[in-house]
Structure 1
Amino acid sequence: MTTEISRTATDIFERMRTTNPLVQCITNYVAMNYAANVLLAAGASPAMVHTPEESGEFATIASALTVNIGTLSPDWVEGMIAAAKSANDADKPWVLDPVAHFATSYRRDTVAELLKLNPTVIRGNASEIIALGGGQSAGQGVDSGDPVEQAEEAARGLASMQGAIVAVTGEVDFVTDGDRSVRITGGSDLMAKVTATGCSLTALVGAYLGTAPDQAFEATVAAVGNFAVAGEIAAQTSNGPASFMTAFIDGLHNLDGETYARNLRIDPQ
């Protein structure tokens, strides 16, 4: 059944591919290459600008900013904060990916500072969102130990508290603004076998936000839906993680609006 949110997501999908938004990606060493290739294949333009000497200035010209704390260092944290402040000053949307924020005090402190800068979207796995909402998670490092459905209540509470969109990604994805919520079905088990898949989704959420900054909830749903559709299609011709990675990049590149709309499965909650 086609819903209003599905039609809006399809419209934003087509607009993103037409406008080629510039996305500043402050992400980790592991994810840089893959995230850049995902954005290029999907129709956006990545810029991996993180140093504090230029990250703040660059955030004012990018369509959107994404911040991933996967591999922290003092200089990178300084660059993240400078970029987020500049994005806010320039009224540009930005996404926070709080990778394993509960693992060390350095990560907890860094995320606390970034949350004060009011991210437009927070994207994480179930364990990260549960912990960010003040609950006890079963996560181990960057890996989630909790199912997405157990994070839904925490996601709604976090979204309301932060005034942000919260996206919980996993076997079935969940997106909420604290009031509206949807589940998105699709993807493949192989996505969890390819490093930086979640980090790359964070970057793609930035591309969609840059396309429709006044529709942050719908843009986030559209981006998560893009991954779900492309992942499900790629799995049909894949024999394992390596072939899936190639098929997924190709699938993002070849996906058109008709195929996106036909395969998008969104369940409003």
Structure 2
Amino acid sequence: MIDDIWNCLRRVREAAPLVHNITNFVVMNNTANALLAAGASPVMAHAPEEVEDFVAISGALVVNIGTLSSDWIAAMRLAALKAGAAGKPWVLDPVGVGATAFRSATAAVLVEIGPTVVRGNASEILALADAATEATRGVDSTVSSDLSLEAARRIAAVTGGVVAVTGATDYVTDGRDVHALRNGDAMMGRVTGLGCSASALVGAFLAVEPDPLLATTAALAVFGVAGEIAAENAPGPGTLQLRLYDTLYALDRQALQSRLRLD
């Protein structure tokens, strides 16, 4: 599968797809930089008056519910409906779902529209599937990714798409097949918004690869390997974040092949 993953990254770099992000205030700069470093072209636009136009010219849409307001929810819904009508792939990142009724209701509305991919941590995926054993604590996962795999399968069955659960092990499933990725570094959890950046990268790969299971697996493989390399000898999370951009920019096939741990 290494050839497929490498070819996905190569096509992102060659095509520089436009990825439309309706994302949260906390991560906009980080997410845009991660997309640029990987070779994609980001746009951050959330006004209801223009999101449909941006979806129309983009290769993919990424919807992240990290910082919600009524206007943004309206924009997310418009953009997702437009993506579905136009046959454009779109990613839902249900940040903090389960923490409040408002957030959970928003995620439920968006799931009904049918995202191509849902990417979240274990607690978010459990909450989204109405199978949480404990409340979501903000945007941090309180359970391991292993425990939410069955919930991920159920969401995939409902949406007809792919669900990715990220954590110490990343799981990607379409409800039938499951890919397990064991790359990355624990220090990545000390940098705000890296999960959001991973979701955005999934959007970039969806823009060039029609198979959402492959696109999602490839994006998370690249992100995990890059994070692992960036963390080596990094004295702290600030250095890791900067090195991550450099590593995404320079990552080659040899490094990807030698480090990838995929089942």
TM-score range, shorter chain: over 0.9
Q: Name the structure 1 match of 2:203.
A: 206
In the alignment, is the contact (CA less than 8 A) between 1:137 and 1:146 conserved in 2? no
Does residue 171 of the first structure (1) align with residue 173 of the second (2)? no
Which residue matches 1:92?
88
| Local SS of the residue matching 2:88 | coil
Cα deviation, 1:53-93, whole Å, max 9, x if unaligned, reads 10011101100000000000011111111111111111000
Gaps of 5+ in 1: none
The count of residues paired between Structure 1 and Structure 2 equals 262
Matched residues in 1 for 2:130 and 2:70: separation? 25
Maintained 8 Å contact 1:126/1:150: yes
Structure 1 letter corresponding to 2:78 = A
Q: Partner amino acid for 2:33?
A: N
**Separation in 2 of the partners of 1:261 and 1:122?**
26
Cα-Cα RMSD: 1.0
In the other structure, the counterpart of 2:259 is: 263
Alignment match of 2:12 (pick from 16, 19, 24): 16
Q: Which letter does structure 2 place at the counterpart of 1:144? A: S
Q: Give 1:136 deviation, angstroms.
A: 1.9
- d(CA) in 2 for partners of 1:253, 1:40: 8
Does structure 2 conserve the Cα–Cα contact (< 8 Å) formed by 1:26 and 1:49? yes
What residue is the counterpart of 2:44 in the other structure?
A: 48
Tell me if 1:26 matches 2:22.
Answer: yes
Partner of 2:186 in structure 1?
189
Matches of 2:114 and 2:80, distance apart in 1: 9
1:63 alignment counterpart = 59
Q: Contact between 2:107 and 2:128, CA under 8 Å: does it hold in 1?
A: no
Alpha-carbon shift at residue 262 of structure 1 (Å): 2.5
Cα distance in 1, alignment partners of residues 51 and 31 from structure 2: 18
Number of the residue aligned with 1:135? 131
Partner of 2:119: 123
Distance in 2 (CA, whole Å) between partners of 1:137 and 1:60 is 40
Instruction: Report if aligned partners of 2:89, 2:206 keep a CA contact under 8 Å in 1.
Output: yes
The CA distance in 2 between the partners of 1:112 and 1:172, in whole Å, is 26
Q: Distance in 1 between matches of 2:232 and 2:245?
A: 14
Give the partner amino acid of 1:129.
I
Native 8 Å contact 1:13 1:257 kept in 2: no
Check the 8 A contact 2:164/2:172 in 1, yes or no: yes
Q: Give deviations 1:158-178, integer Å, cap 9, x for gaps.
A: 111221100000111100000
Alignment TM-score, normalising by the size of structure 1 = 0.95
The answer (yes or no) to whether the contact 2:18–2:60 under 8 Å persists in 1 is yes
Q: State the partner residue of 1:252.
A: 248
The Cα shift of 1:14 comes to: 1.4
Secondary structure, aligned partner of 2:35: helix
Which residue matches 2:70? 74
Deviations 1:18-42 (A, max 9, x none): 1111000110000100000000011
Which residue does 1:111 correspond to in 2? 107
Query: Following the alignment from structure 2 to structure 1, what is the Cα–Cα distance between the partners of residues 174 and 6?
Result: 19
- Report percent identity of matched pairs: 47
Shift of 1:124: 0.2
Q: Which ranges of structure 2 fall in alignment gaps of 5 or more residues?
A: none
The CA distance in 2 between the partners of 1:185 and 1:7, in whole Å, is 18
Output one character per residue of 1:91-126: Cα deviation in whole Å (capped at 9) or x when no partner.
000000011111111111111111111000000000
In the TM superposition, what is the alpha-carbon distance from 1:6 to its structure 2 partner? 2.9
Residues of 2 paired with 1:247 and 1:237: CA distance? Answer: 11
